[in-house]
Structure 1
Amino acid sequence: MTHGGPVHGDRHETPTERLDRNWNELLQELRVTQTGVQILTGFLLTLAFQARFTDLDDYQQALYLVLVVLAVVTTGLIVAPVSLHRIMFRKHLKRELVDAADRLARAGLAFLALTIAGAAMLVFDVVLDRTAGRVVGGAAIAVLAVLWVAVPLRLTRTARADAGDGADGGDAGNPDA
């Protein structure tokens, strides 16, 4: 910790230290996400080579192909920060790197939610029926939207309101936190 540097919330860190911390936190998040994305993508890629794949109707095959595209795009988005880092390494562009990686990770999470919900939809469509697939797919996207978007936004609003009341809000009001 640097003493005497700028204060951001309850942290005493320079802008460079904050960027380093943000980058490291993003990398930790991506490590968790990449594993799941790669497993899901691998699973989807192997389905076409299963004997029962030929039993899928046109709708199921189309849904499957959309899911493969979504999974490939998701993988690309989640892994892209690694490529950015390799290309931008030692070019003194940490802010640009962190900002771009953040946008890519957010887009990757959106595509991941669609891929997860679609995969659940396909499985329920094959095992039960089309209605069950649509209900489960819709429910999955709703649950993920609540957990991944609504809850964090609610916590952010609550923390900002608490900080405005004089309570210790920490970094809640700092968009770079």
Structure 2
Amino acid sequence: MTEQEHRILLTNPEENPKERVDRELSELLQGLRVQSTGVQVLFAFLLTLPFSAGFSRVDEFGKWLFYAALVSAAVASICLLAPAVQNRILFRSGLKEIMLHRANELAVVGGIALAVSMTCSTGLVVEVYLGATPAILIAAGVVLLSTWLWFVQPLLTLQRNRGRIADS
């Protein structure tokens, strides 16, 4: 039995490969819909920030945080919306499995960009009101938490359960 056939049996023994890809792509696109809404709100907020009255109080360090937050929010938005746009373009092409793998990669890149944007946005707000040192500490906490929960913990879970999955 190939690894792919084994994965199919683990998810649903009555599901054929086409049904599995359809389900997995649907689940992934649904998750991206939820994520992209939050990213779009953050991106919209960042786009309006320079036009607000208090933005003039932002120092050079804060402006670099702002630029990093803005660009990474744009990257996150693009990456998280790309699978839905590509799904429309590649509709009925028979390339769903390729779309599924690409969408998964884009979701990971979008998640990384979102973590950067959230870290920089939080750092910017803290820097304006409390200074650079607290901003760096709080931003470090945000990056550590997002890195742990979004990437390290799931990768460790995969690694710890590889034997159990292979034995199933």
Fold equivalence (TM over 0.5): yes
Q: Tell me, yes or no, if the aligned pair for 2:57 and 2:128 is still in contact at 8 Å.
A: no
Q: Whole-Å Cα distance in 1 between the matches of residues 57 and 129 of structure 2?
A: 12
Q: 1:118-153 deviations in whole A, cap 9, x for unaligned?
A: 111111111101011111111111111110112112
Per-residue deviation, 1:62:
2.2
Q: Which has the higher helix share?
A: 2
1:11 equivalent to 2:12? Answer: yes
Amino acid at match of 1:77: C
Q: Whole-Å Cα distance in 1 between the matches of residues 115 and 40 of structure 2?
A: 14
Amino acid at match of 1:153: L
Identity of matched residues, %: 34
Per-residue deviation, 1:23:
0.3
Amino acid at match of 2:23: R
Q: 1:34-77 deviations in whole A, cap 9, x for unaligned?
A: 11101111111111111111121122112212211111111001
Per-residue deviation, 1:161:
3.4
State how 1:87-166 maps to structure 2 within 5 Å: 87-163=89-165
Unaligned runs of 5+ in 2: none
Aligned-pair RMSD on alpha carbons?
Answer: 1.8
TM-score (norm 1): 0.85
1:47 equivalent to 2:45? Answer: no
Q: 1:64-114 deviations in whole A, cap 9, x for unaligned?
A: 122111111110010001111111111111111111111111100010111
TM-score (norm 2): 0.89
State the partner residue of 2:39: 37
Per-residue deviation, 1:157:
2.5
Q: Whole-Å Cα distance in 1 between the matches of residues 148 and 64 of structure 2?
A: 28
Amino acid at match of 2:85: S
Per-residue deviation, 1:10:
5.0
Amino acid at match of 1:123: V
State the partner residue of 1:175: none
> 3-state SS of the aligned residue for 1:9?
helix
Q: Whole-Å Cα distance in 2 between the matches of residues 106 and 146 of structure 1?
A: 14
Q: Whole-Å Cα distance in 1 between the matches of residues 131 and 96 of structure 2?
A: 49
Amino acid at match of 2:45: F
Unaligned runs of 5+ in 1: 170-177
